[in-house]
Each structure stands twice: as structure tokens, then as C-alpha cells.
């Protein structure tokens, strides 16, 4: 039966990948509405022919990779279970240590290393693609350094989460999902608190904004918005990317207003002030707290569903998947598979609310700055720098876009009738 399931899974993935290929590359895509051609929202008005060609190619390849990469990860987890590799890793770990905690840490390291190696070719292709199209300026050694940091940061957090999770499952096989959910609340807040000052500096250097005149303008804008801020930070991203970005991150006294140096180098002060006003709109409208509340609620539903689905699958197909009990650490790939599927399935809903918040922040920024022209030119430059697809197809928008497509954003800030969601 295991062999039959494995072949079926491979064939299903192949058919899915082929279907997505035809959808993304041969469905015709989404053209610019006739009413918007020749307007400031039309990419042909602010991108040359070569840039338009590159944008179309790059967007299609990235969209295809997105829709294939996540199901490929599911396939990897499924095959790890099906061929008994997870069970073998647990046995090897047990042979190296009799202590449960040490045994589980060894298992997690082996599983993390295995998945990192298997997924590495796809990650490297994505990196090479961004280099080919001029988005990334990062050297291979720098990219590998970030990848190694990613591996150890993720591994450290995985060890904490998984050890606690399987301890809870061992204590209560019926209500572990509820206790796990209760613990995710303080843990998530803690991660948000330390991310700007502990995790982010592992990847890049952050320092106070050198342009003090611009900093004064930004802090003045923050004062108008009743946002307590004393400093603005810049981060050295030019050595890694040509893309532009700015953001407000963290909570409480660890919150930071951050500008990429690429943004500072390529946008005017007025455009930067609009971008900053947009980020301030998220703060004023408390989007970070609404986002946290939504995440906590979705985590509750997700853990409950995961508990039900895992219990059912192990009871019915545990022998085929080489899983004896739900509290065996070898069941972790099944947990990761189910949670990943649920997260992917829920992304259209979470993305919809994210796009709504981004649209609200755009509206707030226009009200605060009163500068629609700077908003339009800022969006146009953001589109060019990232070779963004301004009007994606429906599935791409639902599953990929946490921000409204640039066609909509430019159209709305230019004070025209809003486009239907």
C-alpha cells in the first residue's frame, strides 16, 4: 500500500504542477482594463518596454514557484512518513541518547537538516532568479550566510515549540491543542518584542538615520499622528537587493521605524514621507493588534483541526505511515504537513484582511500628507524596483498578495473610483 500511495502522490503532484504551469503561463493573465490604459496606473506609462517584458516573465516564474513550492514541501513530509524515514530518525536518535529531551533534539536536528537539503535546490533557484532579473544584488556567500542563520534561528525556535508541544501531547492527548494555543499567546508576543532588537540585527546592520533633516520631517509627521517616536533607523539593504521598503516593527519600547537604504537612495523626501505616513497609518489604526488577534484566533482553529485530523489519520493509517502514537516524535512530519495545508488554505482569507488594512493605511497616508502625486510616483517606483505584477490573476491575488495590486493602489490614491475586490 505504501508504494501505491507514494506513486499516487507523485502523480498527483505532477498533474497539479502541470495544471498550475498552464494556468500561470498560458491562461492569458490579467490585462490592464481599457478604462485605465494611458492613466498613471498603467505600467506602460512609467515602465519601458524592456521593464514590462522582464516584469511579465519574472512575475510568472515567481508565481509558478510559489504555487509549486508549498505542495512540494507537503510531498516531502508525506514521503518522509511513508518510507519510514521519520521512524528511522527517531530510532537513530534513541540509539544516541536515552534522555527524552536530548533524543528529541537530535531527531529535530536530523529532520531539519534533511528538509533543508531537500528544499535547497528550489531555494537556490529562487535566489538565482532574483539575481538574473536584477532584483537581488547579494553575493552567494552572503546568501548562504543568511540561509545558515535562518536554519539555526528556525531550529532554535522549533526545538522550544516542539519539545513543549510533544510534552503537552504526552500529558493530554485530547486537549493538548488547547494548552498549546494558550502558550502561543505569550510566545508570539515575546517574539514580536525581541524581533527588532535581537533577530533582525542578525541579518543586517541597523543604525540611526544619517539624514537628520529627513529624520526631523519624519518625526514631525509622527508627532502629527500622535505616535511616540524618538529615532528613525536605516538598514543596509543595498548590498542584498534593489527592491525598496520601509516598515514599522515591534511592540512597546522595542518598536522601530525602519527605512531601507535603497528607499533613501531612490525616493524623494516627499515620497519617503508618504511611505512613512502609510506605516504610521498601521500604528494609528492598531493593525498590529488586530493582526495579532486574528493570528491567535486562527491558531486556535488550526490547532483544533490539526488535533482532530492527526488523531483520525493515525488511527486509520498509522501503520502505513509508521506512526504508532500521536505523542511519538516521529509523528512531527504529519503535524507539519497538516498545519502547512491549513495555513495555505486559509491564506486567501488572511490576505484579504491584510489587503484591507493596507488600503486603509494608504488612505490614512493621503489624509496625513495630502500629497497624492508623491503617493503615485512612490508606487510607480516601487513597482519598477521589484518588477511587480500590477494586475495579477485572481488565484495569484488571493494566495500571494498581502497588499492590494499596484494597479488598485495607484488608481485609488489618484482619487478615482475604487476597483472591485
The radius of gyration of the chain's CA atoms, rounded to the nearest angstrom, is 23
With respect to residue 223, please indicate whether it lies within any of the assigned structural domains. Answer: no
Q: Which residue has the higher pLDDT, 272 or 1?
A: 272
Name the more confident of 29 and 229: 229
Tally of domains within the chain: 1
**Catalytic-labelled residue, pool 90, 271, 328, 362:** 362
Which ranges constitute the DSSP H helices of 83-132?
85-96, 100-132
The model's confidence at residue 377, banded by pLDDT at 50, 70 and 90, is very high
287 in a labelled binding site? no
Known catalytic residue at 49: no
249, containing H or E segment: strand 246-249
Report the percentage of the chain scoring pLDDT > 70. 96
User: 514631525: which residue's cell?
Assistant: 220
Q: What is the pLDDT of residue 114?
A: 95
| Residue 389, marked binder | no
253 pLDDT band, cuts 50/70/90, is low
- For the stretch 101-134, pLDDT in tens is 999 999 999 999 999 999 999 999 999 999 999 8
Tens of pLDDT along 163-179?
A: 999 999 999 988 999 99
pLDDT tens figures, 43-71: 888 888 888 888 889 999 999 999 999 99
Band the pLDDT of 400: cuts 50, 70, 90: very high
Which residues are bridge partners to 248 per DSSP?
Answer: 257
Task: Respond yes or no: is residue 362 known to be catalytic.
Answer: yes
Structural domain boundaries enclosing 351 = 2-202+287-413
Report the mean per-residue pLDDT for the chain: 88
Helix (H) or strand (E) holding 22: helix 2-26
Residue 282 annotated in ligand binding:
yes
DSSP tag of 44 = G
Q: How confident is the model at residue 28 (pLDDT cuts 50, 70, 90)?
A: low
Is 400 part of any domain?
A: yes
Residue 247 in any domain: the answer is: no
Predicted confidence band of residue 415 (pLDDT cuts 50, 70, 90)? low
In a domain, 123, yes or no: yes
pTM score, two decimals?
0.88
Cα angle: 339, vertex 344, 347; to 5 degrees: 120
Q: 539593504: which residue's cell?
A: 237
Given the residues 279, 371, 389, 408, select the one marked as catalytic: 279
Instruction: Read off the pLDDT of residues 327-345 as tens digits, 9 standing for 90 and up.
Output: 899 999 999 999 999 999 9
What are 13-27's pLDDT values in tens digits? Answer: 999 999 999 999 887
Asked whether residue 64 is assigned to any structural domain, the reply reads yes
Report d(CA 222, CA 54) in Å as an integer: 37
Cell numbers given for 217: 520631517
Classified as helix, coil or strand, 202 is helix
Residue 420 above 80 pLDDT? no
Give the pairing of strands 256-260 and 232-235.
parallel
What are the backbone dihedrals phi and psi of residue 159, each rounded to the nearest 5 degrees, phi first? -60, -50
158: nearest Cα among 86, 99, 110: 110
d(CA 25, CA 7): 27
Residue 357 confidence (pLDDT) above 50: yes
Whether residue 275 is contained in a domain is answered as no
Which alpha helices (DSSP H) does 225-331 contain, by range?
261-266, 269-284, 287-317
Q: Is 130 within the bounds of a domain? A: yes
In a domain, 147, yes or no: yes
Amino acid at each position: 500500500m505504501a508504494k501505491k500511495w507514494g506513486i499516487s502522490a507523485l502523480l498527483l503532484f505532477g498533474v497539479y504542477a502541470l495544471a498550475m504551469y498552464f494556468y500561470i503561463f498560458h491562461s492569458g493573465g490579467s490585462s490592464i482594463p481599457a478604462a485605465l490604459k494611458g492613466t498613471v496606473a498603467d505600467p506602460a506609462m512609467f515602465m519601458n518596454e524592456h521593464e514590462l517584458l522582464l516584469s511579465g516573465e519574472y512575475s510568472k516564474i515567481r508565481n509558478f514557484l510559489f504555487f509549486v513550492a508549498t505542495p512540494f514541501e507537503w510531498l516531502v513530509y508525506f514521503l518522509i512518513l511513508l518510507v519510514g524515514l521519520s521512524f528511522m530518525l527517531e530510532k537513530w536518535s534513541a540509539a544516541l541518547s536515552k534522555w527524552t529531551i536530548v533524543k528529541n533534539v537530535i531527531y529535530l536536528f536530523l529532520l531539519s537538516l534533511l528538509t533543508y537539503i531537500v528544499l535547497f535546490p528550489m531555494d537556490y533557484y529562487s535566489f538565482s532568479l532574483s539575481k538574473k532579473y536584477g532584483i537581488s544584488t547579494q553575493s552567494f556567500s552572503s546568501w548562504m550566510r543568511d540561509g545558515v542563520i535562518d536554519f539555526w534561528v528556525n531550529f532554535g525556535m522549533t526545538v522550544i515549540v516542539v519539545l513543549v508541544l510533544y510534552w503537552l501531547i504526552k500529558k493530554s492527548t485530547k486537549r493538548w491543542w488547547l494548552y498549546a494555543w494558550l502558550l502561543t499567546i505569550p510566545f508570539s508576543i515575546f517574539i514580536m518584542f525581541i524581533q527588532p532588537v535581537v533577530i533582525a540585527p542578525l541579518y543586517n546592520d541597523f543604525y540611526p538615520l544619517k539624514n537628520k533633516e529627513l529624520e526631523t520631517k519624519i518625526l514631525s509627521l509622527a508627532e502629527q499622528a500622535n505616535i511616540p517616536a524618538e529615532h528613525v533607523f536605516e538598514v543596509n539593504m543595498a548590498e542584498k537587493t534593489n527592491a525598496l521598503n520601509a516598515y514599522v516593527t515591534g511592540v512597546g519600547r522595542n518598536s522601530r521605524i525602519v527605512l531601507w537604504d535603497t528607499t533613501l537612495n531612490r525616493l524623494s523626501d516627499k515620497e519617503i514621507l508618504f511611505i512613512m505616513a502609510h506605516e504610521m497609518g498601521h500604528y494609528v489604526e492598531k493593525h498590529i493588534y488586530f493582526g495579532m488577534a486574528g493570528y491567535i484566533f486562527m491558531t486556535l482553529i488550526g490547532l483544533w483541526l490539526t488535533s482532530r485530523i492527526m488523531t483520525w489519520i493515525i488511527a486509520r493509517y498509522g501503520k502505513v505511515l509508521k506512526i504508532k502514537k500521536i505523542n511519538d516524535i516521529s509523528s512531527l512530519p504529519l503535524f507539519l504537513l497538516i498545519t502547512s495545508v491549513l495555513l495555505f488554505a486559509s491564506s486567501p482569507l488572511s490576505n484579504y484582511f491584510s489587503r484591507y488594512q493596507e488600503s486603509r493605511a494608504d488612505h490614512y497616508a493621503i489624509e496625513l500628507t495630502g500629497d497624492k502625486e508623491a503617493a503615485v510616483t512612490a508606487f510607480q517606483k516601487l513597482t519598477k524596483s521589484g518588477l511587480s505584477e500590477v494586475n495579477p490573476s485572481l488565484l495569484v491575488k488571493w494566495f500571494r498578495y498581502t497588499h492590494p495590486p499596484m494597479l488598485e493602489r495607484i488608481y485609488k490614491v489618484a482619487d478615482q473610483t475604487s476597483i472591485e475586490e
